[in-house]
Amino acid sequence: MHFSPAPLHIPDGFLTLVISLVFWALTALAVGTAISKTNQSLGEKQIPLMGVMAAFVFAAQMLNFPVVGGTSGHFLGGALAAIVLGPWAGILVMTAVISIQALLFQDGGLLVMGANIFNMGILTALIGFGLYRLSSRVGKPVRLGVAGFAAWLSTVASALLTALQLWLSGTSRLEIVVPAMLGVHLLIGLGEAIITVAALGFIEQARPDLLSAEKTASQGGQGWVLGGVFVSLGAVLLSPLASADPDGLEKVAEDLGFLGAGQSAPYNILPDYTIPLLGETALSTIAAGAVGALLALGLVILIGRSLRRAQG
């Protein structure tokens, strides 16, 4: 079928276990909150609405338009979903889309799915909805302009975060991966922006009730505006810094003890794959492996617990 892998879906094996689990934890937290929030606002109606909306985002990703010489512009849809459906529903919709892409089409890995959902679903909802809500009471041209900018920035920010995750995992060199990812997605983001603006304009003409200022305000509080502006500023400031002065960023990360934790994870707490007490024997290495595996298992169980609590 017309299915082409998008460049932002990280496959398994490209991120270290620690980075994968950290982003799984963040994603689980956000998705758990989203579930309870939409449960309050929509109740049982949310299942058909969000299921079909997720199918919409998936199908809309097929709407490509010819750019030049065989390449075509694509559509990710995270910002649009968050603007029209609200941020919590947008997160759930994008989670469903990214899950099915990973589970059914192997587009994006399973262990790194938390990171993929965070980059393409949560970050895009934060920037897309946050900036849009900021301008929800001003005139239509400005509002659509802001929505377009938000869609563009959300694409660029996902690319930046993906690049940073790859770097922290020791998979890519910072000075190569950041300019490459940003360069491609500065352009892809333009397509995303035009499609988002045109789609919003169309929806506003055909169904103005779906995009009224009151509806937007009821879907997410001021916290989204604050978070969205904060993350957007972060992305805008970090992008030039990361591509122009990678050494500076590397230094900051090193000072914060970030880089070591990412690159040699998860064995940092178990130096040289051994447990200090047992000395450098095979037994020690085995024990270190077992401890690492148990730690990971414990974290997964904890996430599962918190999810169940959030659900019930």
- What torsion, rounded to 10 degrees, do the Cα atoms 62, 68, 69, 75 define? -20
Shortest distance (Å) from residue 200 CB to another protein: 7
Q: Give the DSSP H or E segment for 203.
A: helix 174-206
Q: Which residues contact 53 (CB under 8 A, 6 or more apart)?
A: 81, 85, 89, 93
Q: Which of 7, 104, 101, 8 is nearest to 54 (CA)?
A: 101
**Which residue, 238 or 310, has its beta carbon nearer to another protein?**
310
**Which residues in the 256-295 window bind another protein by CB under 8 A?**
266-267, 273, 282, 285-286, 288-289, 292-293
**Which residue, 238 or 306, has its beta carbon nearer to another protein?**
306
**Which residue, 225 or 284, has its beta carbon nearer to another protein?**
284
Report the distance separating Cα 311 and Cα 220, nearest Å: 19
Q: How many residues bind another protein (CB under 8 A)?
A: 100
**Which residues in the 48-107 window bind another protein by CB under 8 A?**
48-56, 58-60, 62-68, 73, 75, 80, 84, 92-93, 95-97, 99-100, 102-107
Site string for another protein, 194-223 (x = CB under 8 A): xxxxxxxxxx--xx--x-------------
**Which residue, 225 or 288, has its beta carbon nearer to another protein?**
288
**Which residue, 68 or 139, has its beta carbon nearer to another protein?**
68
Report the distance separating Cα 85 and Cα 50, nearest Å: 9
Q: Tally Cβ neighbours within 10 Å of residue 255.
A: 9
127 scored as a contact of another protein (CB under 8 A): no
**Which residue, 48 or 139, has its beta carbon nearer to another protein?**
48
In single-letter form, the type of residue at position 228 comes to G
**Which residues in the 13-42 window bind another protein by CB under 8 A?**
13-14, 16-17, 20, 31-32, 35, 39
Shortest distance (Å) from residue 205 CB to another protein: 8
Report the distance separating Cα 138 and Cα 140, nearest Å: 7
The 10 Å CB-count burial string (b at 16+, else e) for 58-77 is: bebbeeeeeeeeeeebbbbb
Spatial contact of 92 and 212, defined as CB atoms under 8 Å apart = no
Site string for another protein, 158-197 (x = CB under 8 A): --------x---xxxx--xx--xx---------x--xxxx
